[in-house]
Chains A and B, each alone.
Chain A
Amino acid sequence: MSAGTIRMPTFDRYVPGPMGRVALTAARAVAEAGRPPFNPLLMIGVGGRGKTHLLHATEAMARQIDPTRSAIYRSAREVAADGPEDHEPNLLLIDDVQDLIDTRGFQRTLADRLEGRAQQGLATVLTMDRSPGEVRGFDQRLARLLVSGLVTELDVPTSDDRLSILQSLPAERPLLPEVLEAVALQVGENVKDMLAAYHRLAALQAVSKDPIDLPQATVLLDGDELHAEVERSEGALDESVIVAGEAVRLERTSIDTTSPADEFGDFLSEVVASVADQVDRWRERVGEAILRWGGEGYRTTRLEHLLSEEFPQDPDSVLRQYQEDIRVLQELEASSVSVDPDAENHAVFRDPDDLAAARKFLGQTQLGGTTVPGPSSEYRLVDFIEGNATRAAIHAARRLLEEIPPPSPIVIIGPSGTGKTHLLHACGNALAERSGEIVALVSVNELVSAEDDRLIGLGHATALLIDDVDRLVESPARQRELLAAIDEVIRAERPLLLSSARPLDQLTDIDARILSRLGSGLVIELETPDRELRTRLLRRLLDPHESEPAVIDALAERPAPSVRALQGMVNRVLNEAQRQGGSVTAALVRQVLDAPVPSSPKSRANRSGLISPILAEARLREKVIERWPVIEERLLEDLR
């Protein structure tokens, strides 16, 4: 690579000859304009006239002006070797078109491409070392197309221009003016040769004490003598030699002038090549992956999209994720096939962009058509009032919904009526809204008495929610079944949310294995509503009745063991107000709530008699009914 192209070619660094100015202006116009007035632009000039420099400068400027515009530089050989691009770049720069002389087939392809680009208004700039008409055996249509836009010629800079090139080069120890002039006037016809000569002299001067004079330069450049004796400054003597105790006459001064004159430029060009090779290697990897997975029938849209990007953020991680998704698909497919051989090669297992559909398919296969109990749609998470008592539980629920994989299992502990069931159903509904989710929500309370086989297939649900785990105490058989389902869900890192009215350490009769699984998860307590939460809840419950603040205060100041108990209090007050035909007032609240509560004989039988009226109310409305004391009473209750 010549020094001219190593230092990031720009238009400013190009020194044109008298005719080259047209080419320079035209190339600049192409870089600046989205749709240049002439298309294609063909620049003709023999080697060393700066064709490549101008193409690179055009590319760089176009990118600088509009980074979203794709500009691609390719040698003609590369264009032929690469085959068609997926997306035509806005600006295509093709170097050395004459190199295509041996590839007649490709000449026609290129002609088609040029025609297509011209029709789309996409700019193309090309270079050749002679005019298309002079290339014998060139495809006639291509030759015509090449000259259908603007043809410019690159000529030799005048000696003044050549001198100004040399003078513009950065140099720590500039060459003597007469040497520069000699180089500009005498060396070669093209700029590359001139620069090479200059760098050779500059390198020599850098290690010599005295500046190179004209006679020396002439000798050096004539090539008659490749080695020049250059005295080194004495300060540079290697001290270790002196230490060795010998007056060693250094014979290091013969410097090989054939070594690269611009060592840094040389180094830089190698680094450029290495970096380009490395940063673009991802394209190779992605291309391979597309061929491989596409060949196996997998959708590769994601990777194709990646390839179309010029500089993606982190192509390797996209590729990794894609391959990981394929792996998941393969696992899902294998699991499905183990249940139903017909599931093999099902289309749902070929789209890594929709794993959810594959999971759902697997779930359905495993369930074998049976349905699992789901959440009741009336509960929504937005209705769940946030307060100090519930904040931790709501936060855990959000994590369950948002994090992948979710924290699992999550166990919500709270006394009856604090909202466990509400939260479970609300989470279940939110999960079910996602595509591909099969949400199973079971209440142990119902299971204990039920005799169906509803637990079969629970483990295959994409999310499992279990209400009232503490009630498992009553059914060892159900414990075993649930343990299996829980294990499966935990292993698959799917959402698992449970509720219990009692802390885990009090559930001594439940299989220790279940308890250890639950204990290892996130255990959150739903606390008895504090005043803040009660006030918020009351505002929602009483809002339609336009209650005065005093009513809410009067209700809120009373402790309530649970949300449900609070609802009960409100209901009683509202009923009483309705019965009296008046509005709800703070006085009425006190009157109703301070009055003795009609209590049931059943609850009284079990208690000391010192029951808080509110608590009694809460018990009455309990969904979870305490164990019946005697069978007769149960029959009685059933008869009612």
Chain B
Amino acid sequence: MSLVNFAAREITCKLVYYGPGRSGKTTNLQYIHDRVPEARRGRMVSLATKTDRTLFFDFLPLDLGAISGFTTRFQLYTVPGQVYYNATRRLVLQGADGVVFVVDSQARRFDDNVESLQNLQENLLDQGVDIRQLPVILQYNKQDLPRDLVLSPAELDDALNFRDVPSFGADALTGRGVFETLKALSSRVLHRLTDSGVSG
């Protein structure tokens, strides 16, 4: 991963939204897409099936312009959540600089979250990436649903966040927590990218 290219004066971050099917990854991207001034965003590419589920992946490039002399680009991807699209997931995951794991907070979807989280870890490991070394943020989505249907962020933290990564409650449809999540991940990715500078 070469995020900061001093020679070309470029910073490129690839951020991947991961999680079980129907957890709201594409919704996250759509919300961001709608809030970004037109000049700053590329076309959001969404390859969806007829039933509006992500079959391949969504891709949203953000061109943030020249920051401190560096052309800064963010590339946001989602993976298809359905279990049987693992090949695509691995492809999208390649070279990711950071991952947002979008959790479906509904209690009845809990097992899907666990399965997807394990799948993330395995896929990263196959690419030689230790999940502990990669910036990961947990987003507990759908917190707007009635209390008796969802687990609270505290409960989900207990159950899923054993690595103690930053986590955010969210409601991607209204946008609550979407930018908080993105900001947290960006900050972690950006702070990691040059920390390895001299020692590495």
Q: Interface of A with B (CB < 8 Å)? A: 7-8, 170, 172, 206-207, 232, 236, 238-241, 244, 248, 250-252, 255, 259-260, 263-264, 266-268, 270-272, 274-282, 285, 310-316, 319-320, 323
B43 CB, nearest partner CB in chain A, Å = 15
Nearest opposing residue in chain B for A323, CB measure: B198
| B67 CB-CB contact with A under 8 Å | yes
B36 near A264 (CB under 8 angstroms)?
yes
In the assembled complex, the Cα of A310 lies from the Cα of B70 at a distance in Å of 12
A-B contact pairs, 14 of them (CB 8 A): A240-B142, A250-B144, A263-B35, A263-B175, A264-B36, A264-B40, A267-B186, A272-B67, A274-B186, A275-B67, A275-B70, A279-B4, A316-B198, A319-B198
Given contacts A244-B149, A252-B144, contact A267 B197 (CB under 8 A): no
Given contacts A236-B173, A311-B6, 16 further A-B contacts (CB under 8 A): A7-B37, A172-B34, A172-B38, A239-B22, A260-B179, A264-B37, A270-B183, A270-B187, A271-B74, A271-B183, A274-B191, A275-B72, A278-B194, A310-B69, A315-B6, A316-B197
Residues from chain A with a CB closer than 8 A to the CB of B68 are 272, 275-276, 279-280
Residue of B nearest to A315 (CB): B6
* B159 interface residue per 8 A CB criterion: no
B-side contacts of A280, CB under 8 Å = 68
Contacts of B72 in A (CB 8 A): 271, 275
Asked if B174 is an interface residue, CB under 8 A from chain A, the answer is: yes
Chain A residue, CB-CB nearest to B196 = A316
In the complex where A278-B193, A285-B198 touch, is A252 in contact with B182 (Cβ < 8 A)? no
Q: In whole Å, how far is A431's beta carbon from the nearest beta carbon of chain B?
A: 33
Given contacts A264-B36, A279-B4, contact A240 B22 (CB under 8 A): yes
B128 within 8 A of partner (CB): no
Most chain B CB inside 10 Å of its own CB: which residue of A240, A255, A315: A240
In the assembled complex, the Cα of A264 lies from the Cα of B34 at a distance in Å of 10
A-B residue pair count with CB separations less than 8 angstroms: 115
Contact flags B139-160 to A (C-beta < 8 A → 1, else 0) = 0001011100100000000000
Contacts A270-B183, A313-B6; is A275 near B190 (CB within 8 Å)?
A: yes
Chain B CB within 10 A, most for which of A282, A316, A319: A316
Chain A residues near B6 (CB, 8 Å)?
A: 311-315
From B22, B69, B171, A311 is in contact (CB under 8 Å) with B69
Report which residue of B6, B106, B142, B182 has the largest number of chain A beta carbons within 10 angstroms of its beta carbon: B6
Name the residue on A nearest B189 (C-beta). A274
Q: Contact at A268–B187, with CB atoms within 8 Å?
A: no
Q: Which 3 A-B pairs have the closest CB atoms?
A: A274-B190, A316-B197, A263-B179
Task: Judge whether B11 and A206 touch: CB under 8 Å.
Answer: no
B107, chain A: closest CB distance, angstroms = 11
Q: Is B1 an interface residue (CB 8 A)?
A: no
| Contact A275 B11, beta carbon cutoff 8 Å | yes
Which residue of the partner chain, among A244, A252, A279, contacts B69 with CB atoms under 8 Å?
Answer: A279
Please measure, in the bound complex, the distance between the C-alpha atom of A154 and the C-alpha atom of B125, giving whole angstroms. 59
Mark B residues whose CB is within 8 Å of A: 4, 6-7, 9, 11, 22, 32, 34-40, 64-70, 72, 74, 104, 106, 142, 144-146, 149, 171, 173-176, 178-179, 182-183, 186-187, 190-191, 193-194, 197-198
- Which residues on the B side are within 8 Å of A272 (C-beta)? 67-68
- A6 CB to closest chain B CB, in angstroms? 10
Residues on the B chain within 8 Å of A279, using CB: 4, 11, 68-70, 194
Whether the Cβ atoms of B22 and A282 lie closer than 8 Å is no
A272: nearest residue on chain B (CB-CB)?
A: B67
Closest to B51 in A: A239
Neighbouring A residues of B190 by C-beta, 8 Å:
271, 274-275, 278
Residue of A nearest to B174 (CB): A252
B88 CB → nearest A CB, Å: 22
CB–CB A320/B198 < 8 A: yes
Chain B residues contacting A236 (CB-CB under 8 Å) are 173
Q: Which of B34, B70, B146, B179 contacts A206 (CB 8 A)?
A: B34
> Shortest distance in angstroms between A12's beta carbon and chain B's nearest beta carbon?
14
Q: Does A276 contact B67, Cβ atoms closer than 8 Å?
A: yes
Instruction: With both chains docked as a complex, state the minimum distance between the C-beta of A105 and any C-beta of chain B, in angstroms.
Output: 31
- A240 with B106, Cβ < 8 A, contacts A279-B68, A320-B198 known: yes
Q: How far is the CA of A276 from the CA of B144 in the complex (A)?
A: 36
Q: Which residues of A contact B36 (CB under 8 A)?
A: 264
Given the complex, which residues of B lie within 8 Å of A282, measured CB to CB?
194, 197
A241 to B69, CA, bound (A): 47
Contact A278–B145 (Cβ < 8 Å): no
Give, as a whole number of angstroms, the nearest-CB distance from A621 to chain B: 57
Q: Is there contact, CB below 8 Å, between A241 and B145?
A: yes
Contacts of A7 in B (CB 8 A): 37
Contact call A314/B7, Cβ cutoff below 8 A: yes
The residue that A252 contacts in the complex, of B4, B171, B191, with Cβ under 8 A, is B171
| Nearest-neighbor residue (CB-CB) of A249 within chain B | B146
Q: A252 — which chain B residues lie within 8 A by C-beta?
A: 144, 171, 173-174
- Shortest Cβ distance from residue B180 to the other chain A in the assembled complex, whole angstroms: 9
Closest CB of chain B to A39's CB: distance in Å? 27
* A504 vs B65: C-alpha distance when bound (angstroms): 63
A519 to chain B, nearest CB (A): 37
Nearest chain A CB to B70 CB, angstrom units: 6
A312–B70 Cα distance when bound, in Å, is 12
Chain B residues with Cβ under 8 A from A313's Cβ? 6-7
CA of A252 to CA of B173, assembled, Å: 9
Q: Which residue of A lies closest to B23 (CB)?
A: A240
Distance in Å from the Cβ of A592 to the closest Cβ of chain B? 65
A251 to B40, CA, bound (A): 33
The answer on a CB contact under 8 Å between A255 and B174 is yes
Which residue from chain B places its CB closest to the CB of A63 in the assembled complex? B69
For A262, give the chain B residue with the smallest CB separation.
B35
Determine the chain B residues whose CB is within 8 A of the CB of A259 once the complex forms: 176
User: B108: shortest Cβ distance to chain A, in Å?
Assistant: 8
For the complex, give the distance between the alpha carbons of A282 and B70 in Å.
Answer: 14
